[in-house]
Amino acid sequence: MDYILRAENVTKQYAGHKALDNVSLSVPKGSIYGLLGPNGAGKTSFIRILNQITAPDGGTIELLGQALNKKHIRNIGYLPEERGLYKKMKVGEQAMYLTQLKGLSRVDAAKRLKYWFEKFGIESWWDKKVEALSKGMAQKVQFITTVLHEPELLIFDEPFSGFDPINANLLKNEILELRDKGATVIFSTHNMSSVEEICDDIALINKSKIVVEGNIDTIRKRYAPDIYEIIFEGEFTNPDLAMTSDYEILQTTPLNGETSIRLKQLNDNFSANDLIKFLLPKGELKSFRQIIPSMNSVFISLVEENDQPVNN
Amino acid sequence: MNRTSIIIRREYLSRVKKKTFIIMTILGPILFAALMIVPIWLAQIKDTEEKTIAILDDSFLFVDQFEDSEYLKYEYLQSMDVDAALELMKQNDFYAVLYIPNNIVSTGRSSAMMYSYKQPGLAVQMELLNHMEKYITDAKLQIKGEELGVEKEALRNVIKAVETNVDIKTRIINDNGEQKSTSTEIAMIIGYIAGFLIYMFVFMYGSQVMRGVIEEKSNRIVEIIVSSVRPFKLMMGKIIGIALVGLTQFILWIILTFGIVTAAQFILLDDIKGFQQSPQMEQLISSNAQVGNSPIQDQFSGKIENALNALSSINFPLLIGAFLFYFLFGYLLYAGMFAAVGAAVDNEADTQQFMLPISLPLVLGLIVMFSVINSPESSLAWWFSIIPFTSPIVMMVRIPFGVPVIDLVLSFSVLILSFIFMVWLSGKIYRIGILMYGKKVSYKELWKWIRYKN
């Protein structure tokens, strides 16, 4: 696979604590990559290193096939969690300023801003002062200045915090559109529902360490706790199944003439096929599926698991 | 355009376009010009109100000796006590009652008493005084002359002959044996003004740097910017941008003040001759002429001449050059510290605890400046004009008195090196501080930040 970003054994130490402990991850080109973790896990520290706001104490980072260097500033668009604008400056001037700082010429900046302002239908804001904008309006401006220089890598730190549902949806669609145009998006969050909706790959950071990294579906399956849902025609009661020690019945729910049953596999040698063979003679089988846990439950269980040995 | 210049541009334009900047830039010169023009203008306005002054003369020396002038009339009262005279003043609407006691001539320091409802103007007092001094001198000469058996006029001539007026003029001899007239007063004034301006500039624009940093921090825009620009560049861009704002304001102030003063002189004062012929000046000169000879006048014009000579003896290219240097580098040295303080706090109210290391040396410089004016050769003056935190203020006071080149070179180099060191140190604090929110920072914490590698 083609990776836009590779980090290897990145370490960052602040007085008193380790912010990043041997963090290694690879972001596939053209993907939406979720950087997950509880508050204080080290997400922002890592992102600040990518943006060269701080430097790592150890490890290597490669962006677009080259060791991270000053020229890469042009290739990254960053929307930080703590974001704002100069209140007294006019929207247009400010957007021009921020874009020029990314290395665009005045002419280019003006041309592209015009396109985005029209796209969002906010041309009339150009001469307004930022203090006259609502929070949502200001965030649209921030979003535009983040993506305007068409960077290969976009980094959003908690992008949906503070967005109302309409703007959050708009933002989500824009992010997907940018991905479709070839950009790679890293976004950091502790909000799992947004991760499932748009992320292709994730890395879960907890206590400065990577807990798990990879394709989101693979991860969810890997952490599926082997629970199956079976639906039979008609009313079923537990004794009817006369379960063996290979399975445990968690729940039986009669519903509209059907019965839904949740089973947990106890014996690793007993496969789903064995289960189906065992179930078929018992009645009219309507449905059989493995329950894949939500990212949220994977996240919580992994973080809890990860926390336990450290609780000393 | 490189990134630092983009930042400088924004910092400069956003401030220069502010209403407060424009108002300050226009109001400043009007205020300065008013300070220069108004007193002269007021002096020029003639008091055209007719006043009557009642004279109660117990000495009987001055009967009918006061001559009415255009606006000042005199009325002689019969002998009466002062209370009765004041009663009369009330009834007749006199401007004042001048009571002359009968011992006015015999006492060494003669004094009469003037009663009025309002504080009498200087012009009125001067006119009365001129009359009285003239006649008392005359009366004394008459009495002494009679005692000694000498003619009054002969006596007057003797006095004129022995009257002495000593003045020390200063001349500086340089290494080539050339001599120059100098004036301690002029050197003092120039040094004082230059030192004080630098003090003001550092404080005014230094705190603008600090407020700018706090603004960026509290607006939460700073992280967006430092993802494109290194924090050090952002800090330097801000410092340089604001320095340019200061220079712009300073230059505009000088040009505008000069323009307004010139225009005002033209409109209000006819011309500069008109000022010299203003009634008070005339009075001053004529009064001097009346009292004996005119040595005071000689001394007066002598002083002006001396001052002009002294002005021409001051090395203006050096003075202006040094002023610009200290003006700029004094600010630059402190601006980094102001930026670091701004970065270490979340809002302006928290800056107090870190302001001491900035304001203490500045105020100390100002205090030392006053002592240096009196003794520019002292070792105190030397040390404080080399120590970078006070040198911009203190050295400016020394320069008009003459400073060895080696001292200047030393002071300049120490200041430049300290500026570089200070900016480097401040940059380290700044870089960490701008991304640190909601934390009460201590000096110990700042020290930790300085030691962070990256």
DSSP H or E segment with residue B103: none
The pLDDT value recorded for residue B312 is 67
Chain A residues touching residue B225 (CB < 8 angstroms): 98, 101
Sheet containing strand A258-265, edge to edge, reads A247-255, A258-265, A227-233, A285-290
Looking at residue A55, which CATH number applies to its domain? 3.40.50.300
Looking at residue A259, which CATH number applies to its domain? 3.30.70
d(CA B239, CA B246): 11
Q: Look up residue B56 and give its two tokens.
A: 């109660």
User: B438 with B346: CB under 8 angstroms?
Assistant: yes
A181 plus A256 within the same structural domain? no
**Complex ipTM, two decimals?**
0.78
A59 plus A113 within the same structural domain? yes
| Mean of pLDDT values over A198-210 | 88
Whether the per-residue pLDDT at A146 is higher than 50: the answer is yes
User: A146 with A154: CB under 8 angstroms?
Assistant: yes
| Mean of pLDDT values over A207-232 | 83
For B66-185, strand residue ranges (E) read 72-76, 96-100, 113-116, 170-173, 179-182
C-beta atoms of B224 and A97 within 8 A = no
All domains of chain B, ordered by start, with CATH?
51-160 (3.40.190.10), 184-451 (no CATH)
Q: Look up residue A44 and give its two tokens.
A: 């922002």
A35 plus A143 within the same structural domain? yes
Domain that holds residue A197: 3-221
Percent of chain A past pLDDT 90, that is, above it, reads 20
Closest residue on chain B to A99 (Cα): B228
A34 versus A257: which is more confidently predicted?
A34
Chain B residues touching residue A78 (CB < 8 angstroms): 224, 227
Indicate whether A299 belongs to any domain.
no
Q: Are strands B51-57 and B96-100 parallel, antiparallel or unpaired?
A: parallel
The pLDDT value recorded for residue B269 is 56
The pLDDT value recorded for residue A155 is 93
Q: Are strands A201-206 and A209-215 parallel, antiparallel or unpaired?
A: antiparallel
Indicate whether A304 belongs to any domain.
no
Q: Which of A57, A82, A99 best probes binding to B when mutated, by most B CB atoms within 10 angstroms?
A: A82
Closest residue on chain B to A85 (Cα): B221
When CB atoms are compared, the residue of B3, B7, B448 closest to A15 is B448
Indicate whether A12 belongs to any domain.
yes
Domain boundary among A205, A221, A237: A221
Closest residue on chain B to A156 (Cα): B224
The pLDDT value recorded for residue B307 is 61
Residues pairing with A32 in the sheet: A185
pLDDT < 70 stretches in chain B:
1, 43-47, 105-110, 174, 177, 179-183, 268-313, 453-454
Whether the per-residue pLDDT at A106 is higher than 60: the answer is yes
| Mean of pLDDT values over A259-267 | 80
d(CA A127, CA A38): 40
| H helix intervals, A3-105 | 43-50, 91-101
Indicate whether A217 belongs to any domain.
yes
A198 plus A273 within the same structural domain? no
A34 plus A177 within the same structural domain? yes
A184 plus A275 within the same structural domain? no
d(CA A27, CA B5): 35
Domain boundary among A191, A221, A251: A221
The pLDDT value recorded for residue B275 is 44
A85 shares contact with chain B (CB less than 8 Å)? yes
The pLDDT value recorded for residue A312 is 39
Q: How many CB atoms lie within 10 A of CB A121?
A: 9
The pLDDT value recorded for residue B413 is 95
A285 plus A144 within the same structural domain? no
A156 versus B284: which is more confidently predicted?
A156
End-to-end CA distance of chain B: 27
A58 plus A43 within the same structural domain? yes
Chain B residues touching residue A55 (CB < 8 angstroms): 453-454
A116 plus A252 within the same structural domain? no
| Mean of pLDDT values over A268-274 | 77
A58 plus A203 within the same structural domain? yes
Q: Look up residue B15 and give its two tokens.
A: 């401030």
Domain boundary among A195, A221, A247: A221
Report which of B95, B105, B90, B93 is spatially closest to residue B57, judged by C-alpha positions: B105
C-beta atoms of B223 and A55 within 8 A = no
- 3-class secondary structure per residue, B192-235: HHHHHHHHHHHHHHHHHHHHHHHHHHHHCCHHHHHCCCCHHHHH
Number of domains in chain A: 2
Indicate whether A295 belongs to any domain.
no
Q: What share of chain A is helix, strand, coil (3-state, %, to 5)?
A: 40, 30, 30
d(CA A204, CA A105): 38
Question: How far away is chain B from the Cα of A180, in angstroms, using its nearest Cα?
Answer: 25
C-beta atoms of B452 and A15 within 8 A = yes
Lowest mean pLDDT among A31-45, A200-214, B139-153: B139-153
A262 plus A136 within the same structural domain? no
Under 8 Å CB pairs connecting chains A and B tally to 68
Indicate whether A205 belongs to any domain.
yes
A43 plus A125 within the same structural domain? yes
